[in-house]
Amino acid sequence: MLIKFFYTLRAAKLPVSVREFLSLLEGLEKGVIGSEGAASIDDFYFLARTTLIKDETQFDKFDRAFAAYFKGVELLSDFSQELPLEWLRQHLQLELSDEQKAAIEKMGWSELMETLKKRFEEQKERHEGGNKWIGTGGTSPFGNSGYNPQGIRIGGAGKNKSAVKVWEQRAYKDYDDQLELGTRNIKVALRRLRRFAREGSDLELDLSDTISKTAANAGMLDIRMVPERHNKVKVLLLMDVGGTMDEHVHRVEELFSAAKTEFKHLEFFYFHNCVYDFVWKNNRRRFAEKTPTWDLIRKYNRDYKLIFVGDATMSPYEILQPGGSVEYNNEEPGAEWLQRLTHAFPKYAWINPEPQGVWQYRQSVSLIQNLMQQRMFPLSLQGLEGAMRLLSQ
């Protein structure tokens, strides 16, 4: 049975190895689940996900493959649509006698799924206490807080433990690398750049060495300490602000928030359209509190990872010509400053929040790509992972 499950996961392009599959079988054989009774489908779901999936960006694909294999949930209906919360809010408690429960008809799986598909298409309002529609407190097989010998719980919490589909909530669907980013997703991608090292004073117990030294000391306690582990990666973040970047403010804020959380050594500055001879930290005082770009090159070491964030959308003159800036008369073209920065910081990348499909139609994007040696990545989970992988080399 589970051999076909393994091939279903591989068909879903999940990187599941034979060794991981054997670990799942070993766990089942040794009673990791179901030790105090029969194992539920939920127990198996969590065990399978733990042993087979090592990258949380793959959780959504696993959920869909799991559902497709166990009775073909995905093939019969689309559960991605959201139901109004009011439909699923419990207002009454259903109490049935044993005779009434026995009289409720139990559907087969195929009939159950086909019927649910029809309910999604037909239902237009909230229902409570009935035996047909998606709702609460009734005997319908769809909804919550009611009773049915074999139904699909939608919302609410388990009560009778008879639901045959609960994993289909797909709690991890936002980890799909093709979906829109959120701060949580960005953190997942940025972690690929982290490099931990033990530096500074001894603040953390070294348990293994303490046990070893205590044993060698005839049982006399010999406590050993080590420096705490820190993420030693240093990041210099330069972010485009204003103009066409206004429509990307929310996503760049999410990236900035995630970066501040993930990197202890983070320095950030702003620029507009292209980097010239100065940058700034406070947008309200951008002309009063300038930081010369030369200071960045002189102050920060070559081990800093340089990350530009911008849509690279501007007039080509702003990149190639002296005086091309739309705000002041710059003495040197932006291209000169970009080359100086990328020479000073060999590990660099450009993150572009614009859809990758429009890059080819904008001359300025092509110019920036060439100046970046094609190290431009989209602001998506997949794009960030590619940038972090490049910077970590």
Quickly tell me which residue has 């330069």 as its tokens: 238
The count of structural domains within the chain is 3
- Retrieve residue 325's tokens: 């800036």
* Structure confidence at residue 364 (pLDDT): 94
Instruction: Say if residue 224 is in the same domain as residue 301.
Output: no
Q: What is the CATH number of the domain that holds 348?
A: 3.40.50
* Pair (255, 316) in one structural domain: yes
In this structure, the answer to whether residues 155 and 218 fall within a common structural domain is no
Whether this model's pTM surpasses 0.75 = no
Residue-wise pLDDT tens digits, 284-331: 777 788 999 999 999 999 989 999 999 999 999 999 999 888 888 899
| Cα 112 to Cα 224: distance, rounded to the nearest angstrom | 61
Separation of alpha carbons 194 and 84, rounded Å: 41
User: Are residues 260 and 204 located together in one domain of the fold?
Assistant: no
> Is the same domain home to 88 and 73?
yes
User: For residues 235 and 232, what is the distance between their CA atoms, to the nearest angstrom?
Assistant: 10
Q: Are residues 360 and 381 in the same domain?
A: yes
* Same domain, yes or no: 133 and 42: yes
Q: Is residue 181 part of a domain?
A: no
Task: Indicate if 261 and 209 belong to the same structural domain.
Answer: no
> How many angstroms from the chain centroid is the CA of residue 60?
10
Domain that holds residue 216: 198-230
Tell me the torsion sign for CA atoms 308, 314, 316, 321: negative
Chain centroid to CA 34: how far?
A: 31
Are 160 and 206 within one domain?
A: no
H or E stretch covering 4: helix 2-11
- β-bridge pairing 142-144 and 152-153: parallel
pLDDT values of the chain reduced to their tens digit, one per residue, 393 residues? 678 888 888 888 888 888 888 888 888 888 888 765 566 777 888 888 888 988 777 787 888 888 777 764 433 333 334 445 444 444 444 444 555 445 445 555 456 556 666 666 666 566 565 666 665 656 665 555 555 555 555 545 444 433 334 445 555 544 444 444 566 667 766 766 655 444 555 566 778 888 888 888 888 888 887 776 656 788 999 999 888 898 888 888 888 888 888 888 889 999 999 999 999 988 777 778 899 999 999 999 998 999 999 999 999 999 999 988 888 889 999 999 999 999 999 999 999 999 988 999 899 999 999 999 999 999 888 888 889 889 888
168 and 262 fall within a common domain? no
Tell me, yes or no, whether 209 and 125 share the same domain.
no
Any idea which residue has 């949580």 for tokens? 184
pLDDT in tens, 87-121: 444 444 444 455 544 544 555 545 655 666 666 66
